[in-house]
């Protein structure tokens, strides 16, 4: 299980995700988990980095059968906690883990196109500000759009360029400064 994304993209920052090691000792053994010691680093702010545990129950991991890789689901779980400023709840002996009971939320849902476009705008903006010349990997984009289903995200990307061209033309302006900065940068990142 090492198909993890390399970056977690938020509206105000990006974290580079490193899997330091998989652990079956301590918490993992006591609670029957597949447990990872991870490190997150903000490339633009060196002091913004931390290490923690990230886990999934072995029973769920062994029985998981879905087209979305389990590592991506686990990373969406992590992103959700970071976004809500509660990542500390995942670490430690009694830290929260991904289970059968809470995993469905991270498969995503069909949401309105407007919300998908807003999410994409935040993700693309954060990416091009941090890594202006680098391609964006699909897995990084997918895990960073925490609540959007894979199918809805694909459809949203297809219509995003039209959306971006229409910002400000119909009286609807999202992000103001953000959309202006994205236009100044020029092209959207290449998604691979």
CB of 17 closer than 8 Å to CB of 4: yes
Question: Using one digit for the tens of pLDDT, what is the confidence trace for 24-69?
Answer: 778 999 999 999 999 999 999 999 999 999 999 999 999 999 999 9
d(CA 77, CA 54): 9
Residue 131 belongs to some domain of the structure: yes
Per-residue model confidence (pLDDT) at position 185: 53
Mark whether 24 and 75 lie in a shared domain.
Answer: yes
Mark whether 98 and 36 lie in a shared domain.
Answer: yes
Average pLDDT of the chain, as a whole number? 88
Domain closes at, from 68, 87, 107: 107
Question: Using one digit for the tens of pLDDT, what is the confidence trace for 58-90?
Answer: 999 999 999 999 999 999 999 999 999 999 999
9 by Cβ neighbours in 10 Å (0-12 / 13-18 / 19+) ranks as buried
Task: Compute the average pLDDT of residues 3-21.
Answer: 95
Residue 87 belongs to some domain of the structure: yes
Per-residue model confidence (pLDDT) at position 166: 64
Domain closes at, from 107, 140, 173: 107
Handedness of CA 181, 187, 188, 192 (dihedral sign): negative
Per-residue model confidence (pLDDT) at position 133: 87
Q: Could you tell me which residues are beta bridge partners of residue 15?
A: 8
Mark whether 85 and 16 lie in a shared domain.
Answer: yes
Residue 23 belongs to some domain of the structure: yes
d(CA 60, CA 54): 14
Greatest distance between any 2 Cα atoms in the chain: 58
What is the H or E stretch that residue 50 is in? strand 49-57
> Does 192 have pLDDT greater than 80?
yes
Mark whether 89 and 129 lie in a shared domain.
Answer: no
Residue 192 belongs to some domain of the structure: no
Mark whether 28 and 102 lie in a shared domain.
Answer: yes
Domain closes at, from 107, 140, 172: 107
Residue 2 belongs to some domain of the structure: no
pLDDT band at 170 (very low <50, low <70, confident <90, very high): very low
Question: Using one digit for the tens of pLDDT, what is the confidence trace for 85-116?
Answer: 999 999 999 999 999 999 999 999 999 988 99
Mark whether 14 and 45 lie in a shared domain.
Answer: yes
Mark whether 40 and 97 lie in a shared domain.
Answer: yes
Q: Is the pTM of this model over 0.85?
A: yes
Tell me how many domains the chain contains.
Answer: 2
Q: By residue range, what is the domain housing residue 81?
A: 7-107
């Amino acid at each position: 299980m090492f198909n993890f994304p390399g970056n977690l993209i938020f509206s105000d920052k990006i974290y580079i995700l490193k899997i330091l090691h998989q652990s079956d000792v301590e918490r993992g053994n006591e609670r029957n988990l597949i447990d990872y010691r991870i490190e997150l680093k903000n490339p633009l702010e060196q002091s913004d980095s931390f290490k923690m545990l990230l886990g999934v129950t072995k029973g769920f991991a062994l029985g998981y059968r879905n087209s979305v890789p389990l590592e991506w689901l686990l990373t969406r779980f992590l992103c959700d906690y970071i976004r809500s400023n509660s990542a500390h709840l995942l670490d430690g002996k009694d830290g929260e883990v991904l289970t059968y009971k809470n995993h469905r939320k991270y498969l995503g849902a069909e949401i309105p196109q407007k919300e998908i476009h807003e999410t994409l705008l935040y993700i693309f903006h954060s990416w091009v500000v941090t890594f202006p010349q680098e391609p964006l990997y699909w897995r990084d984009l997918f895990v960073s759009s925490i609540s959007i289903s894979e199918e809805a995200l694909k459809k949203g990307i297809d219509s995003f360029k039209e959306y971006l061209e229409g910002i400000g033309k119909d009286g609807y302006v999202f992000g103001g400064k953000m959309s202006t900065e994205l236009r100044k940068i020029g092209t959207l990142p290449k998604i691979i």
